[in-house]
Amino acid sequence: MTWVNDIVQGILLGGYYGIIACGLALMFGVMRIINLAHGDIAVLGAFLIYLLLEHWHTSPFVALLPVLPVMLVLGYLLQRLILQRSLRSGVLTPLLATFGISIVIQNVLEQSFGPDVQSLGGDTGSLVTAAWRINSDVSIGALSALIFVAAILIYAALQFFLSRTSAGRRMRAAAEDPDTAELVGIDAPAVYARATAIAVGIATLGGLALALRTTFSSYAGPDQLIFAFEAVVIGGLGASLWGALLGGIVLGIAQTIGAQLNPEWSVISGHIVFLVVLLSPRGGLLTFRTGGGTGPRFAAGRRLLTRPRATS
Amino acid sequence: MSLLELDGLVLRHGLLEAVQGVSLEMAEGEVLALIGANGAGKTTLLRGIAGAHRPTSGSIVFDGVEVTRTPAHERVRAGIALVPEGRRLFAGLTVEENLLVATSRVRRGGWDVESVLEALPLLKPLRHRRAGTLSGGEQQATAIGRALVTNPRLLLIDELSLGLSPAAVDLVYAALRSVIGDGMAVLLVDQDFTRAAGISDRLVCMLEGRFVLEGKGSELTRDEITRAYFGLRGHGATAA
The alpha-carbon gap from B27 to the nearest alpha carbon of chain A, in Å, equals 22
**What pLDDT does residue A41 have?**
98
> Measured between CB atoms, which of A181, A185, A312 is closest to B106?
A185
Burial (Cβ within 10 Å: 0-12, 13-18, ≥19) of residue B216:
exposed
Where on the phi/psi map is residue B36: left (φ > 0), alpha (ψ -120 to 50), or beta? left
The pLDDT of B115-133, averaged and rounded, is: 92
Those residues whose C-beta lies under 8 Å from the C-beta of residue B216, and which sit 6 or more positions away, are B201, B202, B203
The pLDDT of A234-256, averaged and rounded, is: 89
The alpha-carbon gap from B220 to the nearest alpha carbon of chain A, in Å, equals 28
CA gap A212, A147 in Å, rounded: 10
- Confidence class for position B240, pLDDT limits 50, 70, 90: very low
The alpha-carbon gap from A303 to the nearest alpha carbon of chain B, in Å, equals 12
- Confidence class for position B163, pLDDT limits 50, 70, 90: confident
Q: What is the mean pLDDT of chain B?
A: 89
pLDDT above 70 (res A294): no
CA gap B10, A18 in Å, rounded: 50
- Confidence class for position A308, pLDDT limits 50, 70, 90: very low
Would you call A187 and B71 a contact, using CB atoms and an 8 Å cutoff? yes
pLDDT above 80 (res B105): no
Dihedral over Cα of B116, B153, A182, A199: its sign: negative
**What pLDDT does residue A177 have?**
94
Best interface-test mutation with B: which of A169, A183, A192 has the largest number of B CBs within 10 A? A183
Nearest residue of B to residue A290 by CA position?
Answer: B92
* Structure confidence by residue, pLDDT tens digits, B44-75: 999 999 999 999 999 999 999 999 999 999 99
Q: Does B148 touch chain A (CB under 8 A)?
A: no
CA gap B81, B91 in Å, rounded: 19
Identify all chain B residues contacting A173, using CB atoms and an 8 Å cutoff.
90, 93, 98, 101
Would you call A181 and B18 a contact, using CB atoms and an 8 Å cutoff? no
**What pLDDT does residue B140 have?**
93
The pLDDT of A73-96, averaged and rounded, is: 94
> Measured between CB atoms, which of B84, B100, B146 is closest to A169?
B100
Q: Backbone phi, then psi, for A189, in 5-degree steps?
A: -60, -35
Best interface-test mutation with A: which of B76, B85, B89, B101 has the largest number of A CBs within 10 A? B101
Share of chain A above pLDDT 90, in %: 71
* Structure confidence by residue, pLDDT tens digits, B188-197: 999 888 888 8
Would you call A181 and B88 a contact, using CB atoms and an 8 Å cutoff? no
* Structure confidence by residue, pLDDT tens digits, A24-66: 999 999 999 999 999 999 999 999 999 999 998 889 999 999 9
How many CB atoms neighbour CB A49 within 10 A?
25
Burial (Cβ within 10 Å: 0-12, 13-18, ≥19) of residue A100:
middle
CA gap B81, B33 in Å, rounded: 16
The model's pTM: 0.88
The alpha-carbon gap from A166 to the nearest alpha carbon of chain B, in Å, equals 7
- Confidence class for position A137, pLDDT limits 50, 70, 90: confident
Nearest residue of B to residue A190 by CA position?
Answer: B73
Q: Does B72 touch chain A (CB under 8 A)?
A: yes
CA gap A171, A161 in Å, rounded: 10
pLDDT above 60 (res A148): yes
ipTM score of the complex?
0.89
**What pLDDT does residue B162 have?**
87
Pairing between strand B65-66 and B16-26? unpaired
**What pLDDT does residue A279 have?**
86
pLDDT above 50 (res A183): yes
Q: Does B37 touch chain A (CB under 8 A)?
A: no
The alpha-carbon gap from A76 to the nearest alpha carbon of chain B, in Å, equals 20
Q: How far is CA A96 from CA A15, A44, A209, A222, A233, in A?
A: 29, 19, 27, 15, 20
Q: How far is CA A165 from CA A43, A168, A172, in A?
A: 30, 5, 11
* Structure confidence by residue, pLDDT tens digits, A192-227: 999 999 999 999 999 999 999 999 999 999 999 999
